[in-house]
Chains A and B, each alone.
Chain A
């Protein structure tokens, strides 16, 4: 780990029949950070995590985790990683405490220390009250926290979080985010895969965008947004007839041609000098007697970034529906 990277992958290849799940995938995750791996369904996120966590053999390329080769030193890698999958991979029949004690013994802590560690983690993840209840009766958020706790038994150097909040309600999602932040504060490196742009934006200091098995962008969330262009000014007018006039006004301050969204009576354009542009446009519209519903500055979302980079939207809205 001397080079400052907790995870390094170069040219990863993985094929399932005709389909190339990974096709020359590169990744570098700095120690002590949360690194987001962002991409639509089937982009190769889960395959990448399964290779890095030693669950799946790679067909080509090489990868190290905590400085160890995932193919040749898989057993050593396993002692230094935690994995929280898309499904809460805990035993639903056992109680929370029985789960953590079992995993502790299987991590070779020995019976006594496994018990102590379980009690510590139950307290840390706010599960002490439910510790002796069967996991089958836990809420989605509690289950995910237990899953996180199970991944943290050996205080791993690298934690893989594969879509940790898929299917959770907003409150549970917030709870999981809070836990992740605490883990990173204690020194764990996190590789987070997600379809939720908001999640990557909130948690990750660095993001790799993956599409069709390749990394197509690698930057900070802000850096990615800047690639799409800077801030945008956005005006929503009250009447359709005013759209043309609003376009003219916005065009005077914008860098390029303003874009319009007829159905929402919206006009927007990239601007360089944000505040001047905003006050200018607001004043001029008022002077010309255009009734404005809403006016403001908007940073591009990662959704915009995604659209720009891949030419297609993320499937966030779809999965949100599926989760509900």
Chain B
């Protein structure tokens, strides 16, 4: 029998190592079930095709830009936005099946369970964005490169980061994996009432106002600017300060939902 004493190292070392092992687990899931990435990307890619080709010619862009240039950044944002459903699905599965309980009964850092989940989701988000952008390029999308492109990529991940906490929080609230599937029904309208598909100034006034203040609209508008295809002609404050708000909104979401998620996690020991 091999010796069974745990290796003695500092707490920080084990926090990072535990976190990495949880990440490894998450990535191994995708390695064993690669079709899951396809499912997660199915809806955004289908949307690109539907809106790009079917509705595309009927869609107007204020200022007369190409709808494809308007749509693609929106699709990237939508891919990130739906990510919280993936987070919630994995978390609810782990908590109802007893996997989280097993982790909690072990001498590992329990914060690594949540942190590892977050890092996994960000890595997967990078892969998803990569696939989405290649699809967009294949359809004729031509963004500006350089620092602006990298900044846009960063802002998209920044949004995804904030949504991790909503996902963890919801994952610990919903009673079973089936219910997590129902989150899509909530997420879909929330992404529609935004600037993802249609510019808010083309909507009725009150709806346009709601759509413009939707946090994901700021990320969409900011990335359009950074990709070199800004949409002009809007007079609302939030749209004129899209870059700023794309940075601020995720901070607001994190400040609200990170403590809620942590509290929910701690309540597991009640």
Which of A's residues lie within 8 Å of B, judged by CB?
53-57, 75-76, 78-79, 81, 83, 85-95, 98, 102-103, 105-110, 113, 116-117, 120, 134, 150, 153-155
B2 touches A56 (CB 8 A): no
Q: Point out the residues of chain B lying under 8 angstroms from A86, CB to CB.
A: 98
Name the contact of A108 in the complex, choosing from B2, B99, B105, B107 (C-beta under 8 A): B107
Main secondary structure of the interface of B (DSSP, over half): helix
A-B contact pairs, 17 of them (CB 8 A): A54-B105, A55-B101, A56-B270, A78-B107, A79-B6, A81-B105, A87-B98, A88-B98, A89-B102, A90-B102, A94-B25, A103-B102, A106-B108, A108-B7, A108-B9, A108-B14, A108-B17
B108 touches A107 (CB 8 A): yes
> How far in angstroms is the closest Cβ of chain A from B32?
6
Name the contact of B32 in the complex, choosing from A106, A134, A155 (C-beta under 8 A): A134
B14 touches A85 (CB 8 A): no
Report B102-131 CB contacts with A as 1/0, cut-off 8 Å: 111111100000000000000000000000
Give the distance in Å from the alpha carbon of A102 to the alpha carbon of B108 in the complex. 12
A85 touches B101 (CB 8 A): yes
> How far in angstroms is the closest Cβ of chain B from A104?
10
Task: Answer whether A78 and B105 are a contact pair too, CB < 8 Å, given A93-B33, A102-B24.
Answer: yes
Report B1-23 CB contacts with A as 1/0, cut-off 8 Å: 11110110100001001100100
Task: Answer whether A94 and B7 are a contact pair too, CB < 8 Å, given A75-B107, A89-B98, A89-B102.
Answer: no
A107 touches B28 (CB 8 A): no
Main secondary structure of the interface of A (DSSP, over half): loop
Give the distance in Å from the alpha carbon of A149 to the alpha carbon of B107 in the complex. 17
Would you call B29 an interface residue if the criterion is a C-beta within 8 Å of the partner chain's C-beta atoms? Answer: yes
Give the distance in Å from the alpha carbon of A54 to the alpha carbon of B102 in the complex. 11
Task: Answer whether A94 and B108 are a contact pair too, CB < 8 Å, given A102-B25, A106-B21, A155-B4.
Answer: no
Give the distance in Å from the alpha carbon of A102 to the alpha carbon of B24 in the complex. 9
> How far in angstroms is the closest Cβ of chain B from A101?
10
A110 touches B102 (CB 8 A): no
Q: Kindly identify, within residues 82 to 109 of chain B, every residue whose CB is under 8 Å from any CB belonging to chain A.
A: 97-99, 101-108
> How far in angstroms is the closest Cβ of chain B from A218?
25
Name the contact of A90 in the complex, choosing from B1, B17, B99 (C-beta under 8 A): B99
Name the contact of A107 in the complex, choosing from B6, B33, B98, B270 (C-beta under 8 A): B6
Give the distance in Å from the alpha carbon of A78 to the alpha carbon of B101 in the complex. 12
B21 touches A105 (CB 8 A): yes
Name the contact of B106 in the complex, choosing from A91, A103, A113 (C-beta under 8 A): A103
> How far in angstroms is the closest Cβ of chain B from A88?
7
